[in-house]
Amino acid sequence: MTNPGAPAAVHGPVRREALEGGAVWRLVLATPKANVLDAAKITALTEAFRAVVGERGVKCVLIEGEGPHFSFGASVEEHLLGRFEAMLTAFHGLFRAMLAAAVPTAAVVRGQCLGGGLELASFCTRVFATPDAKLGQPEIKLGVVAPMASFWLPERIGRSAAEDLLLTGRSVGADEARALRLVDEVADDPTAAALAWARAHLAPLSASSLRHAQRLARAGVARRFDQELSCAERAYRDELMRSADANEGLKAFLEKRPAQWSDA
């Protein structure tokens, strides 16, 4: 495997590069420092995973953030009434595209990896993080919840650990995240570590067989995905977003003031 590092395509706020002779795609969230997962970025990522289906030689997709942070999470503005329905549909469509592509993935995490950013990173096959990385699901602090994380984190790290992160909104450092199995490897240069993993373990193998293996490894998840995410979306739309505190929390965040909870 060679490493030309030449850009294969640019899709708005996500830069796509072909590495290792085209066997690895690198998708870079290219709006530092926050790399917010807004509609444009979600669309670009989804299009990339749909495109990789037809690229038979790709053995791994790396996702990382440009600048000091992976991502501060999804756009809070797009969570507001009148906009969140489209946001949820598009965001969950990204994970459907990742499942359908069935290509091994690696998240390269530096700095903050929060909310939707952690949902994206944790859904990857492996997660590589810097020692100073911080990972968390802070949605509860805004009076809302993370539907995708509520489904996926128990799968990845177990229900008890997942509930701790989802109910408290606390962030964990790289070492704790590794102990929780939220991070697979801590490295000063996580990009190099991810590429070394791909070279050592994926490069010698059949790209076709790798995709079959990835698909079968997540077959149970795929069977439950639509049912459980659809239930979560309905609960978010019909219950949570009709509550006073969910709307108060989002508005307070945007107005940079403490939320005034009514417990309703």
Write out pLDDT tens, residues 74-99: 999 888 888 889 989 999 999 999 99
Question: Whole-angstrom Cα distance, residue 63 to residue 97?
Answer: 14
Q: Quick check: 49 and 93 in contact, CB under 8 A? A: no
Separation between Cα atoms, residue 208 and residue 224, nearest integer Å: 24
Query: How high is the pLDDT of residue 57?
Result: 97
Summarize the chain as % helix, strand, coil (round to 5). Answer: 50, 15, 30
Share of the chain above pLDDT 70, in %: 96
pTM of the model: 0.94
Residue where the block lists tokens 């640019």 = 10
Q: How far apart are the two ends of the chain, measured CA to CA in Å?
A: 57
Give dist(CA 200, CA 198) in Å, integer. 6
Question: How many residues belong to the chain?
Answer: 264
Judge whether residue 9 has pLDDT over 70: no
User: Once rounded to an integer, what is the mean pLDDT over residues 53-71?
Assistant: 97
pLDDT (mean) for 185-194? 98
Residues facing 65 on adjacent strands:
29
Split at pLDDT 50, 70, 90, the class of 1 is: very low
Q: Which residues contact 122 (CB under 8 A, 6 or more apart)?
A: 107, 149, 152, 153, 156, 182
Q: What is the mean pLDDT of residues 191-201?
A: 98
With contact defined as beta carbons under 8 Å apart, do 20 and 8 qualify?
no
Q: Where are the domains of the chain?
A: 7-188
CATH architecture of 7-188: Alpha-Beta Complex (3.90)
- Using the Cα atoms of residue 189, residue 44, residue 157 and residue 146 in order, give the sign of their dihedral: positive
Whether pLDDT at 11 is above 90: no
DSSP letters for 137-185: -GGGGGT---HHHHHHHHHHH-HHHHHHHHHH--EEEHHHHHHTTS-SE
Predicted pLDDT at 3: 39
Structure tokens at 253: 């965040």
Tokens of 13: 């706020």
